[in-house]
Structure 1
Amino acid sequence: MSELPMSELVVRDLQRSFGGVQAVGGVSFTLRSGDLLALIGPNGAGKSTCFNLLNGQLRPDSGSVKLDGTELVGLPPRRIWALGVGRTFQITATFASMTVAENVQMVLLSRARRLFGLWRPAAALFREPALALLERVGMGSQADRPCGVLAYGDVKRVELAMALASEPTVLLMDEPTAGMAPAERLALMALTAELVRERGLAVLFTEHDMDVVFGHATRVLVLDRGRLIAEGSPDQVRADPRVQSVYLGGEA
């Protein structure tokens, strides 16, 4: 069995303001292979802004984001993606009129930098690896259905397969279970935890469902008004008085 690749995303003193409002203020953390790291906080805490800074959609006012020693600040999102930082979004980003398999094939084509040839339909390219990824996320039986007819939870699984098709070492998942039923949420994050172990992924995810966070995260970061107020194991964070005050409603 081959050794799993190891990656490290090091974030130091990340800052971004919009006008006079500091959305992210001095955020620092390290994400390593095998981590399933939750980033939580109240609405408006800066979670999505932080994600957008990590994958190049926004540029920080100051700070550093390094992947295995390579500085990512200033690079365009596609370059960061090519270096191994994948992402899923709050709102699913699939092509509704294309089949489930074709959605995954599109990512594989892009990753391989292949152009569509007139002598061979794009739908014939990378079909087998696409089917293998869909089988892994539990969507193999629906490979030839249009994405537009799927249940929302199934679309989320397709999006996960698309993210894996880019062969990331770091995966950013922005509210991956938003809009899903409770049982679907737990199942999707259980699958993600399995993939972390199997592939040596480093995953950072945001989430509002505390059952998902405390049931699956290996570590938890808590943001409030753009600043980290707590970091640690799920048990440590749940017991932190500051977290209870600003986010958990005083629960012990």
Structure 2
Amino acid sequence: MTEILRVEDLKKSYDGFLAVNGVSFSVQQGELKALIGPNGAGKSTCFNMLMGQLKPTAGRVFLNGEDVTGQRPRDIWRKGVGRTFQITGTYQSMTVIENVQMALMSHHRRLFNLSARAWRMYRDEAMSFLDTVSMGDQADRPCSILAYGDLKRLELAIALTHRPRLLLMDEPTAGMAPTARVELMQLVADIVRDQGVSVLFTEHDMDVVFAHAHHIMVLNRGELIADGSAAQVRANPQVQEVYLGGGMLFKEADHA
């Protein structure tokens, strides 16, 4: 398999406190990999270093074999990394398809052309992305009236517009109803399977993680304590100690 992302001994400290301490891992092409851990484990800090929002104190990040450590978020985005966030960031005053068209104009470097004609640009291409996330029938609806789960689907369509090789998803199902969570992650799994996109995601819903992730990493107090299959992670004594009492890791479920 082709290695898309490699992280080597990544560290981030704040006034001597190590929020991320020596984290190393890789993500392969077409892999759906989860990064889990309790609140404050360092998951978001790690994501922010991968995408360039934070500069590591030490360590290296390689994308397709190229060292991208400390590069600007937009430069990393241009190299094929997309991201979705815990809180959606769509333009509420625009329609669903206009949001995707805006993303396509950015991808094609046409944001300078925001004339009245701009909203006819890339409409067919935008529709194809909306169809991918089962939102084509809502193309002309204002974002302000969408259900939260549909906003999450729209955000995924937007993230896919520049055809990333790696997609970082920070708490993709946060705030969603249980059924909508399952539907969204199945959609992500289908995209990984059909398009060969690699996905690294953080998540608190263990049912979602164990049902869909090919491999799971566990971060605790800034350190990576497990990296393996669902069965390996479930049986790991350190992981059991971290999640002791919750029972959330110990359901007998394999990824789909």
Mapped contact 1:116–1:122 kept (Cα < 8 A)? no
The root-mean-square deviation of aligned C-alpha atoms, in Å, is: 1.5
Query: Which position in structure 2 is the counterpart of 1:247?
Result: 243
- Mapped pair 1:90 → 2:89: no
Deviation string 1:184-213 (CA, Å, 9 cap, x unpaired) is 001100000000011111100000000000
Query: Which position in structure 1 is the counterpart of 2:24?
Result: 28
Instruction: Provide the C-alpha distance between the structure 1 equivalents of 2:211 and 2:114, rounded to a whole number of angstroms.
Output: 49
CA distance 1:158–1:119, change in 2 (3 Å): closer
Mapped contact 2:10–2:21 kept (Cα < 8 A)? yes
Residue 33 of structure 2: SS of its match in structure 1?
strand
Deviation string 1:39-87 (CA, Å, 9 cap, x unpaired) is 0000000000000000000000111101111111121000000000100
Query: Which position in structure 1 is the counterpart of 2:34?
Result: 38
Identical amino acids, percent of aligned pairs: 60
Deviation string 1:205-224 (CA, Å, 9 cap, x unpaired) is 00000000000000000000
Among 188, 191, 198, the residue aligned to 2:194 = 198
TM, length-normalised to structure 1: 0.95
Instruction: Provide the C-alpha distance between the structure 2 equivalents of 1:11 and 1:149, rounded to a whole number of angstroms.
Output: 40
Cα deviation for residue 20 of structure 1 reads: 2.5
Q: What does 1:32-71 correspond to in 2, within 5 Å?
A: 32-71=28-67
Query: Which position in structure 2 is the counterpart of 1:133?
Result: 129
Among 5, 13, 16, the residue aligned to 1:9 = 5
Cα deviation for residue 119 of structure 1 reads: 6.7
Mapped contact 1:7–1:170 kept (Cα < 8 A)? no
Instruction: Provide the C-alpha distance between the structure 1 equivalents of 2:157 and 2:187, rounded to a whole number of angstroms.
Output: 11
- Unmatched 5+ stretches in structure 1: none
CA distance 1:118–1:20, change in 2 (3 Å): closer
Query: Which position in structure 2 is the counterpart of 1:178?
Result: 174
Amino acid paired to 2:34: A
CA distance 1:41–1:143, change in 2 (3 Å): same
Mapped contact 1:95–1:103 kept (Cα < 8 A)? yes
- Unmatched 5+ stretches in structure 2: 251-256
